[in-house]
Amino acid sequence: MFQTIINAWKIADLRKKIIYTAFVILLFRIGANIPVPFVDIGDAGLIDSTASTFLNYLSMMTGDAFNYGTIFAMSITPYINSSIIMQLLAVAIPALEKLQKEGEEGRKKIASITRYVAVGLGLLQSTAYYIYIRNKGFLTKSDAGTSFTGFEAVFQAIVIILCFTAGTALIMWLGEQVNQKGIGNGISIILFAGIVARIPTEAVMLFSPTNGYPARDERYFFLSILVVAIYLFMIAYIVWMDNAERRIPVQYAKRVVGRKMYGGQSTHMPIKVNMSGVMPIIFASSILSLPPTVQMFISEEKITGTFWEGFFKVFGTDHWVYGIIYFVMIILFAYFYAAIQYNPVEMANNIRKNSGAIPGIRPGRPTSDYIGKILSRITLLGALLLSVVALFPIIFTQLTTLALGEGKGMNISLGGTSIIIMVGVALETVKQLESQMMMRHYKGFLD
C-alpha cells in the first residue's frame, strides 16, 4: 500500500489529487475543533467514553466533533442517511427509478434531491442535538449566571442549530469536491479521517491504568493486549475477505471475422465475496441511529421508569438485541446492495452476445438463473463474513462484562465497525490509485 502511494506521488497529476485530498482532510479536522457559538461543553466532553451508546457511535464517526459541540458535530451522517433513503425510494417510486435510467442527467437530479434531503436531516439532527445539550446544561449563560430566556433564548437556539446544519452542508460539499478533484470516495475519506483521529484517544483509554474503566486491576492489561492482537487479526481477515472472489468459468466460441479467427479461449467472470464493501455496515449503523436520535428530543425524566426507557436501551451498542438487529440488517443491506450492482439477466445476455457460455449451462434463462443462484450464495457468505467482524467486539464486550462484573467490561463494541470502515476505505483508495496509475502508464496500440 505504501509503495503504491509512493509511486503515485511521483506522478504530477496524482500528486495534486493527493495533496487536494489531504487539504480537505485538514479542513475537516480544523472544523471539527472549532466550537459553535453559545455552546460551552468544556474539556471533559459531552459523552461518558466508557459507555456503549449511540452518542459514542456518533463521536467515533465525527472524530470527536460531536463530543465537543463543534461546527462539524453532525459530520457526514445526514448525507449517508439521505443516500440510503434515496436508494430505497428509487426502488419503490417509479419516477425516481426512471430518473436513474436517464443516464448522467438523471443521476444529477437524484444527487441534487439527495443534497436537499441531507440538509433537511441535518436540520432535524441539529435540533435534536441542541435540545440534548440544552437539557445537559452546556449552553452559555447570561452575566447573571442564568439561562437565557425569551428572544435571547430563541436567538441562541437559531444560531446553534443553523451552525450545525451549515457544518453538515459544508462537509457534504467537501466530500463532493474530493470525488471530483481528489482521490477516493469523498464521503468514505471523511469517515476514515474521523475514525483515525479517534485512535490516540482510544489507545489511551485502553492502556491507561487510571482513566476510562472503573476499578481497574491487572486483568485489564492482559485484556488490552488481547484486544490489540484481535484488532490486528481483524485487519488481516478483512484484507483477505476483500480479495476473495468466486470465479465463474466462461467459454467463448470461435468465430471468423474476415480472414481472422476470434474467440475460442476460456476465461472467467470474477465475483467478489464481499461485493458491497463497507456499505452494509454504514447503512445498518445509520438506520439504527434513528431511535437514539428521537431519544435526544426527550428529557431523561420523561422516559425514566416507562416503556420507552427499555425501548431506547435496546439500541445501545452493547445490548444483545442491538447485536441481533445489526446482524439481520447487515445481511439485508448486503443483498440490497448486490441487487443494485449485479443484474443476472444482463450478465447472461452480455455473455451470449459475445458468443460465450458457461460450461454445462444452456444460454439464456438457465444461465441467468445459475448466475443469480451464485450471487445469492456469495452475498450471504460475504454478509456473514462481514458480520463476524462487526459483531465480535459487541460479543467481546458482553463476555468481559459477565466476567468482570456490571460496569467493568471493556467497551470495544464499536471497534469492529471502525476497523471495517478504515481498512475498507484504505483498500478502495489504494485500488483507485493503482487504476489511475495504470491508465497513465498504459501504452496504446500505436506505441
- Which domains, ranges and CATH numbers included, belong to the chain? 1-197 (1.10.3370.10), 214-413 (1.10.3370.10)
Note the pLDDT of residue 259: 65
Q: What is the pLDDT of residue 162?
A: 93
List CB contacts of 145: < 8 A, sequence separation 6 or more: none
Quick one: three-class SS letters along the chain? CHHHHHHHHCCHHHHHHHHHHHHHHHHHHHHCCCECCCECCCCCCCCCCCCCCHHHHHHHHCCCHHHHCECCCCCCHHHHHHHHHHHHHHHHCHHHHHHHCCCHHHHHHHHHHHHHHHHHHHHHHHHHHHHHHHHCCCECCCCCCCCCCHHHHHHHHHHHHHHHHHHHHHHHHHHHHHHHHCCCCHHHHHHHHHHHHCHHHHHHHHHCCCCCCCCCCHHHHHHHHHHHHHHHHHHHHHHHHHHCEEEEEEEECCEEECCEEECCCEEEEEEECCCCCCHHHHHHHHHHCHHHHHHCCCCHHHHCCCHHHHHHHHCCCCCHHHHHHHHHHHHHHHHHHHHHHCCHHHHHHHHHHCCEECCCCCCCHHHHHHHHHHHHHHHHHHHHHHHHHHHHHHHHHHHHHHHHCCCCCCCCCCHHHHHHHHHHHHHHHHHHHHHHHHHHHCCCCCC
pLDDT digits (tens), the chain, 447 positions: 667 777 777 778 888 888 998 899 999 889 888 888 888 887 767 776 555 456 677 777 787 788 888 898 888 888 888 887 887 787 778 887 788 777 778 888 888 888 999 999 999 888 888 888 888 788 887 766 677 777 888 898 899 999 999 999 999 999 889 888 888 888 888 888 888 887 777 777 666 654 444 445 566 667 777 777 888 888 888 888 878 888 888 887 766 666 666 556 777 788 888 877 777 877 787 777 777 767 766 767 777 777 777 777 777 766 778 888 888 888 888 888 888 777 888 888 888 887 778 888 888 888 888 888 888 888 888 888 888 887 877 777 777 777 766 656 666 655 677 777 788 788 888 888 877 777 766 444 444
Per-residue confidence (pLDDT) for residue 447, from 0 to 100: 42
Amino acid 311: pLDDT: 79
Question: What integer pLDDT is reported at residue 405 of this predicted model?
Answer: 64
Q: What is the pTM of this model?
A: 0.74
